[in-house]
Amino acid sequence: MYARRRRRYFAMMGCCLGLFVLAWGVVRLWSVPAAVAMCLVAMVIPPLAAMVANRRGPDDRWWDDPSGDPESDEWWDELDGKRRDR
């Protein structure tokens, strides 16, 4: 899953850089407002790319992984409102 998220991130950031380069290298010669619009679109892409890269997948386990210490896991389960059957 990590590789897929990383590829999507780099693809989105590549599109962002491509938009900037095309906007000010080519499009501005014909239309400055279109170049500015392209830059505004490119400005929105990096935060979205960061969200895509850091999104938790359905089979990813990050913060709710058991630590392996039974006492600690029981304590955190109690704080989270989870009941363990003993």
Residues in Cβ contact with 8 at an 8 Å cutoff, skipping those fewer than 6 apart: 49, 52, 53
Q: Which amino acid is at 85?
A: D
What is the per-residue pLDDT across 17-32, written as a single tens digit (0 to 9) for each? 999 999 999 999 999 9
CA distances to 31, 58, 86 from 74, in Å: 63, 24, 11
What is the per-residue pLDDT across 25-69, written as a single tens digit (0 to 9) for each? 999 999 999 999 999 999 999 999 999 888 876 656 566 666 677
Q: Which amino acid is at 56?
A: R
